[in-house]
Structure 1
Amino acid sequence: MDRFFKLKELGTNVRTEIMAGLTTFMTMAYILAVNPLILGGAGLDPYGVFLATALAAGIFTIAMGLFVNFPVAVAPGMGLNAFFATTIITSAATDHPISPSMGLAAVFISGIIFFILTVTQVRQLLIVAIPDGLKHAITVGIGLFIAIIGLKTSGVLKIGIEGWVTSNGNFQDLGGADTVIHMGNLADPSVWLTVVGLAIIAILMVMKVRGAILYGILIITLIGLIPGVDLVSLDGLKDKDWVPQFDKLNFWDFDFGDLLTTGLLTAIATFTFVELFDTFGTLVGTATRAGFFKDKEKGKKLVGKAMFVDAVAVSGGAMLGTSTVTAYVESSAGIAQGGRSGLTAVTTGAAFLLALFLAPIALLVPTPATSAALIIVGVLMIQSIREIDFSDLVIGIPAFLTIALMPFTYNIANGISFGIVSYVLLAFVAGLKGEKTHKIHWLMWVLFFVVIARYVFVGSQG
C-alpha cells in the first residue's frame, strides 16, 4: 500500500490518509440528503437519486484515488443540480417542456464534450495559461466560498438568494427581494452548536491534535444527541431501509429527442462552461493547498490526470441518473487533515459506497458539524493570499475580483471568469504602454471572448 500510493514520498501514512478520507466524507455526506431533495423536485425519483449520488461519488472518487493518486473526491455538484432542476421546472410550462430524461441527456453530452477537451489537452492548457497570481486567488476564493457555505448552511449567516429550496423539495422563486447578508439567530441550536463546534475544532488544532477536524465533527454529533439540543435523533433507525434497492436506479434514462427545439443546447453550454471553470478551480485550489504545485510540472501533470477522471465522471453520473458530477471543494477538509495521496480519496469513496447500506447512520451527522469544519478549512485555504502581489495591479485587481466574486455570487466559475477578463484587459493595456512583464497566453484570449459571449448570450445561470 505504501508503494502503490507513495505514502512515504508524500510524507504521510495509512492512519492519516484514512482519517483524512473520513473527514472529507463527513463534510460531503450532506449531498446524500440534499441531492435527492433538489432533483426529486425536478421529477426524478428521490430514492433513485440517492442511489445514483452514492454510487457516482463512491465509484469515481475511488477512481480518482487509484488512477491519479490525488486526495480529491467527486460527487454531484451543488449549484449545477439546482440549475438542472430549475431548468426543467421553468421549461415545464413552455411549448417544448424539458423532461428529466432530456436533462440527464444534456449532462451526458456535456461530459462527452469535457472528455474531448481533456484528450485534446485544452483543459490542461489552463494550468499553463492562467498566471500564478490568479491561481493563488482561486485558492483563496474557494476558501472564502466554502467558509460562507458553512456559515450559511448552519444559519450563522442569513443570505437572501433566488431559487431557494423549500422543505417539500419544490423551488420557491424569491425574486431576489432580500439579498442582504446578516447574522442569524444565535438562540437557534444549529447556530450556537456551529459556534461551539468551531471553537472545539480550533482549540484542537491549536493544540496540534492530529485528526482535529474529524474529532470535532464526532464531538459535535454527540452533542447534537443531548436532550434539549435534539439536532440528532436515533429514533426511527429500525424503520429505515438498510438494503439498497438497485432496481429503482434511473440507469441510462436518456431522451435525446428534440435537443434543438427545447433550449437544451443552452443548458449543455451552461453545464459545460460552469463545470470547466468550477472543476479547474477546485483541482488547482486543492492541489495548491496540498503542496503539489511546489513542483509546477508535477502539479500540472497531476491535475491533468484528474481532469480525465472528472470528464468520465460527468457522463458516468448522468448514466447512473444524477446531475453533473464534479470535484468537491470539501476535499480541502481532508487535505487540511493531512491527506496527500489517493488513499484519502479511496477511503472517501468507500465510505460513500458503504453509505448505500448504512444510509440512516451516514445521514446522522448534523449540519453544524460539517459547517464548523468547512469554516476552519476556509481559514486554512485563505493563507495562499500571501503569495499574491497586490501592489502589481495587473495581477492585484483580477485577483481581488476572483476572490470576491466566488463567495458573493456563490459561484466559483463567476470568480474565475471575472478574473480572466480583467487580467487580459489590464495586461493588454500594460503591454500597449511598453510593459513586457505580463504575457497573455493565446488561450487566455480565447477564454476572454468565450466568457464575454457566455454572459451576453447565456446569462448568469448556473
Structure 2
Amino acid sequence: MERFFKLKELGTNVRTEIMAGLTTFMTMAYILAVNPNVLSAFGSGATGGQWYPIFLATALAAGIFTIAMGIFVNFPVALAPGMGLNAYFASVILSSAASDKPVTFEMALTAVFISGIIFIILTLTQVRQMLLTAVPDGLKHAITVGIGLFITIIGLKNSGLLTVGVEASNNIEAHKFTDVAFFETVFHMGSLESPGVQLALIGILLISVLMVLKVRGAILFGILGTTVIGIILGSDYVPTTINTDVTPWVPHLNELQFANFDWDGVFQTGLISIVATFTFVELFDTFGTLVGTANRAGLMKNPEEGKKRVGKAMLVDAVAVSGGALLGTSTTTAYVESAAGVAEGGRTGLTAVSTGVFFLLALFLAPIVNLIPGSATAAALIIVGLLMIQSIKEIDFQEYTIAIPAFLTIVFMPFTYNIANGISFGILSYVVLATVSNVLGKGKHKVHWLMWVLAILIVARYAFIGSQG
C-alpha cells in the first residue's frame, strides 16, 4: 500500500490518510440527504425521480468515482453529485413543466449523460484547457457566486422561508399607482407559523453556530441535529415513521434506475442549451476544485508533474459525469470539501479511497437518511450558498469591463432561475464591452477567439431556441 500510493515519498502514512478520508466524508456526507430531497421532488412517478433510487445513485456515484480518483490518479479528491448542478437539474424540470415541451426527469438525466460524453472529448482533445484560458478569471468567479445565490433561493423556497407571488403587470393603464397590486413583489416571506419554516430557521442557526465554532462536518452535524430537534418537537416537524419496505437497511440495488434515459424525448424537446450549460459550468467548477486542492496538498510543487496529475483527475471527473447519469443522478463532480481532508494531512489517493469506502458503507443507512426532513436539507442549501459566494472577493469591481459582466452573471442566475441565462449574459456583455474598449484604444483585455465563438452560439441560442431552451 505504501508503494502503490507513495505514502513515504509524499510525507504521510496509512493512519493519517484514513483519518483524512473520514474528515472529507464527514464534510460532504450532507449530499446523501440533500441530493435525494432536491431531485425526488421533480420525478415522474414509477419511471424515475424517486427518493430511494436517487439515494442509491448518490452513494454509489460518490463511492465508485471517489475510489477511482484515488486508485487511478493517486489524488486526495472526492467526487459526488454536485451542488448547484443538481439544483439546475431540478429547475430545468420545474421551469418547463407548464410549457408545451416539458422536460422529464429521464430527459434531464440523458442531457447530463450527453454532457459527460462531450466533457470526455473536450478533456482528451485539450480543448478544455483552452476554454479555461479564454474565459476571464472574473467571470469564472462570478459563475460560482451566481450559482451560490441560485442554491440559496432553492433552499429558501424548499424551506418555505421564501414564497413566489404572481408578478404584477407593468402596464400603468391597467394598474393605477394607488392599487396595492401594482406594488406587489414577486418574492414574499413565508409564514413563520409553519413548522417547516420554524425547523429551517433552527437548522440555519445550528449550522451557523457549528461553523463559527469551526466544527468539522458542521453542515452534516447541523442537518442531523435539526432532525433530532424536529423529532423531539413532534410529527408536525419530522415524520418519525420508518418504512423499511421503502428504504431498507440492506441496499436493494435492483431498485437502482440504471440508464434511465429518454433519447426520443431529448431530441424532440431540443435540450441543446441545457446540455451546453451542464458542460460549461462543470468546466470551471472542476478546474478550480482540482487545482485548488492540488495546491493545498503541495502537489503542484513540480509544475509538470502537477499538470499531468490534474489532467488525469479531469478525465476521471469527466467519466464520473456520464457514470453518475447512468446510475440515476445529476452531474457527479469533484468536491471542494476535499480540502478538509487535505487540511487533516491527506496527500495521496488513499484519502480518496477511504472517503469512497465510507460512501459505500452509507448505503446501509438509508432509513436514517430518509428521516431527515426537507427543512433540514434546505437549511444546508442556504449555508452552502454562503460558502460559494465567497468567491466574490476575487472579482475586481473597479474594472468595469469585468465588473459589469460579472454582475450580470451573478444576478441573472437567481433572478431568472436559470444558470444558463447568467453565463450567457456575462459572456455576451464581456465580449461587447472588451471589444468596444479595445477599438477605442482604452482596452485592457484581449478577447480570446473562443469567446467570440461562445458569444455567437449564445446569440443563436436565444434567436432560435428562446430563453427557456
TM-score (norm 1): 0.77
Q: Which among 452, 459, 462 is matched to residue 459 of structure 2?
A: 452
Structure-2 change in CA distance of 1:418 and 1:111 (3 Å): same
Name 2:282's counterpart in structure 1: 279
Q: Decide which structure has the larger Cα Rg and report it.
A: 2
| Rounded Cα–Cα distance in structure 2 between residues aligned with 1:37 and 1:138 | 25
Q: Give the match for residue 407 of structure 1.
A: 414
Matched, 1:77 2:86: yes
Change (3 A) 1:45 1:266: closer
Q: Alignment partner for residue 29 of structure 1, among 33, 39, 62?
A: 33
Q: Which amino acid aligns with 1:218?
A: L
Give the aligned residue type for 2:86. Answer: G
Pick which of 438-447 and 450-459 moved more.
450-459
SS at match of 2:237: coil
The more displaced of 415-424 and 22-31 is 22-31
State the partner residue of 1:359. Answer: 366
Q: Could you tell me which residue of structure 2 aligns to residue 215 of structure 1?
A: 221
| 1:190 aligned partner | 196
Amino acid at match of 2:220: L
Comparing 357-366 with 302-311, greater Cα deviation is found at 302-311
User: What does residue 173 of structure 2 align with?
Assistant: none
What is the aligned counterpart of 1:134 among 125, 136, 139?
A: 139
Partner of 1:60: 65
Deviation for aligned residue 1:224: 1.5
What is the CA deviation profile of residues 373-412 of structure 1, one whole-angstrom value per residue up to 9, with x for unaligned ones? 3333333333332222212110110111111122223333
Match of 1:18 among 22, 29, 32: 22
Give the equivalent residue in structure 2 for 1:422. Answer: 429
Deviation at 1:301, TM superposition (A): 6.7
In the superposition, relative to structure 1, how do residues 87 and 119 fare at CA in structure 2: closer, same or farther (>3 Å)? farther
State how 1:106-117 maps to structure 2 within 5 Å. 108-117=113-122
Cα 1:303–1:366 shift into 2, 3 Å: farther
C-alpha distance 391-109 of structure 1, shift in aligned 2 (>3 A): closer
Of 125, 132, 144, the match for 1:120: 125
Contact 1:19 1:214 (C-alpha < 8 Å) held by counterparts:
no
Judged with a 3 Å threshold, the aligned counterparts in structure 2 of structure 1 residues 114 and 280 are, in CA distance, closer, same or farther, namely: closer
Structure 2: how far apart are the matches of 1:363 and 1:7?
40
Classify the secondary structure of the residue corresponding to 2:43: helix
Structure 1 range deviating more: 240-249 or 220-229: 240-249
Aligned pair partner of 2:252 in 245, 267, 273: 245
Matches within 5 A, 1:165-314: 180-228=186-234, 230-237=236-243, 239=245, 240-252=247-259, 264=267, 267-284=270-287, 286=289, 292=295, 304-314=311-321
Note the C-alpha offset of 1:195. 2.1
What is the distance in 1 between the residues matched to 2:422 and 2:159? Answer: 24
* Higher mean C-alpha deviation, range 120-129 or range 346-355: 346-355
Do the aligned residues in 2 keep the contact of 1:69 with 1:343 (CA within 8 Å)?
A: yes
Counterpart-to-counterpart distance in 2, 1:81 and 1:20: 26
Q: Which amino acid letter does the alignment assign opposite residue 20 of structure 1?
A: T
Identity among equivalent pairs (%): 51
Q: Shift in Å at residue 438 of structure 1?
A: 0.6
Tell me: CA distance 1:347–1:266, structure 2 relative to 1, closer, same or farther (3 Å): farther
The residue type equivalent to 1:435 in the other structure is K
- Provide the residue aligned with 1:169 in structure 2: none
Separation in 1, partners of 2:152, 2:57: 27
Secondary structure of the 1:153 match is helix
Distance 1:374 1:225, change over 3 A: same
**1:361 positional shift:** 1.3
Say if 1:243 and 1:357, in contact at 8 Å, map to a contact too. yes
Greater Cα shift, 407-416 or 232-241: 232-241
Distance (whole Å) between structure 2 residues aligned to residue 142 and residue 60 of structure 1 = 24
- Whole-angstrom CA distance in 2 between matches of 1:129 and 1:454: 20
Q: Which moved more, 1:79-88 or 1:55-64?
A: 79-88
Q: Check 1:381–1:90 CA distance in 2 against 1; reply closer, same or farther (3 A cut).
A: closer
- Looking at structure 1, the residues matched to 270 and 211 of structure 2 have their Cα atoms a distance apart, in angstroms, of 43
Q: How many residues align?
A: 434
For 1:230-289, what per-residue CA distance to the aligned partner results, in whole angstroms no more than 9, with x for missing partners?
Answer: 433442355553333333444456676xx5xx6607635234212112213432564587
Q: Secondary structure at the match of 1:158?
A: strand
Cα distance in 2 for residues equivalent to 1:347 and 1:407: 36
Equivalent-residue separation in structure 2 for 1:444 and 1:301 (angstroms): 26
Give the aligned residue type for 1:137: A
User: Pairwise CA RMSD of aligned residues?
Assistant: 4.2
Partner of 1:376: 383
- For 1:398 and 1:244, locate their aligned partners in 2 and report how far apart those are by CA, in whole Å: 47
Q: Distance in 2 between matches of 1:153 and 1:7?
A: 45
Structure 1 residues 70, 247: CA separation in 2 closer, same or farther (over 3 Å shift)?
A: closer
**Structure-2 separation of matches of 1:199 and 1:7:** 39
**Aligned to 2:447, what secondary structure does the other structure show?**
coil
- Distance across 2 between alignment mates of 1:234 and 1:383: 37
Offset, 1:52: 4.0
TM-score, normalised by the number of residues in structure 2? 0.76
Aligned partners of 1:137, 1:408: CA distance in 2, in Å? 15
Which consecutive residues of structure 1, in runs of 5 or more, have no partner in the other structure?
163-177
1:166 aligns with none
Distance 1:424 1:407 in 2: 22
Offset of residue 430 of structure 1? 0.5
Residue 161 (structure 1) shift = 9.6
Shift in CA distance, 302/420, structure 1 to aligned 2, threshold 3 Å: farther
1:74 positional shift:
2.7
Answer whether contact 1:275 1:326 (CA < 8 A) is retained: no
| 8 Å Cα contact 1:155/1:190 also seen in 2 | yes
| Mapping of residues 385-400 of structure 1, within 5 Å | 385-400=392-407
Q: Is the 8 A contact 1:54 1:352 kept in 2?
A: yes
Matches of residues 144-163 of structure 1 in structure 2 within 5 Å? 144-159=149-164
Contact 1:35 1:53 in 2 (8 A): no
Alpha-carbon distance, 1:157 to partner? 1.6
Instruction: Deviation per CA, 1:6-48: give whole Å up to 9, x if none.
Output: 6869xx9754542332231214523234434533348448465
Equivalent pair of 2:242/2:367 in contact (CA under 8 Å): no
